[in-house]
Amino acid sequence: MVEFNEERHKYFLDGKEVSGVTKVIGMILNERFPTGSGKGIHHINVAREHGKAKHGIIQYFIDNNKMHEEAGDDEYWLIKTLKNKFPIMDWTYLAEVLVTDNQYFASAIDIVCLQRGTNNAVLIDIKTGDFKREYCSWQLGMYKYMFENERKNLKVIDTLVFCTKDRMVYKIFPKEKQEVTYALDTFKYVSPAFVPKTRSEKEKVRQFIKNNSKI
């Protein structure tokens, strides 16, 4: 069973900490994200809190079928766009759907739309900052892989990004399953759930910890 600890912003699989997919995508794209303290992590935390607030308001709407009193223009745009593209009479909305590879990684899909009377699903990620297509292609590819792997009766027919900064809906062509599984296996050492067995694996873990502790 996968769980998300919101206060610590950590994922757990059967009580054991696993990694989100952000670290893997960062390795693939040669991007590293600040940790610890300082200006870099401050901006990350501000952006995270900003995004969390919007996600919370969207989840409130999906759970209660009404807008939260703190909803702003961005949230109204998100909900209007969602309802226009996926009419509520034809689709069921789910928020913050947890997925995992059942080994080292887990994540939460912002919105999943399930088409009534079919096995079709659409995965939606909400972005509040700059839209980066390659990043989103990896992210939604990993979401799609984990979602379909756990829910074999459902088929993902589309993956989208709702970007509040641009007020745009971007269609994403997710990375193929073969690319995703290769990436998750190649960078499994970034996950706290990974236990290195060989000298090479131990060195990769050591270098990863060393490099990221200095950011």
pLDDT at 150: 95
Torsion of CA 74, 76, 79, 84, to 10 degrees: -110
Q: What share of the chain is helix, strand, coil (3-state, %, to 5)?
A: 45, 25, 30
Quote the pTM value: 0.85
Q: Are 77 and 57 in contact (CB under 8 A)?
A: no
- H-assigned helices in 65-188: 73-85, 133-150, 177-186
pLDDT bucket at 195, cuts 50 / 70 / 90: confident
State the chain's mean pLDDT as an integer: 87
Q: Which domain holds residue 199?
A: 2-213
Number of helices (H) and strands (E) in the chain: give both, helices first: 6, 8
pLDDT at 43: 36
* CATH of residue 163: 3.90.320
**In the block, which residue shows the tokens 């200006």?**
39
**Which tokens hold the place of 42?**
């401050």
**Looking at the 3D structure of the chain, how many domains does it have?**
1
**In the block, which residue shows the tokens 């873990």?**
205
pLDDT at 9: 85
**Which tokens hold the place of 126?**
């909400």
Element (H, E) at 212: helix 199-213
pLDDT bucket at 211, cuts 50 / 70 / 90: low
Question: pLDDT tens for residues 125-181?
Answer: 999 999 999 999 999 999 999 999 999 999 999 999 999 999 999 999 999 999 999
Instruction: List C-alpha distances in Å: 53 to 71, 75, 143, 166.
Output: 9, 10, 22, 18
Question: pLDDT tens for residues 13-51?
Answer: 999 999 999 999 999 998 765 554 444 433 334 344 544
pLDDT at 33: 52
pLDDT at 213: 46
Interval 83-112 mean pLDDT: 96
192 or 211, which is more confident: 192
Listing DSSP states for 153-191 in one string gives T-EEEEEEEEETTTTEEEE--PPPHHHHHHHHHHTGGGS
Q: How far is 164 from 212, CA to CA, in rounded Å?
A: 30
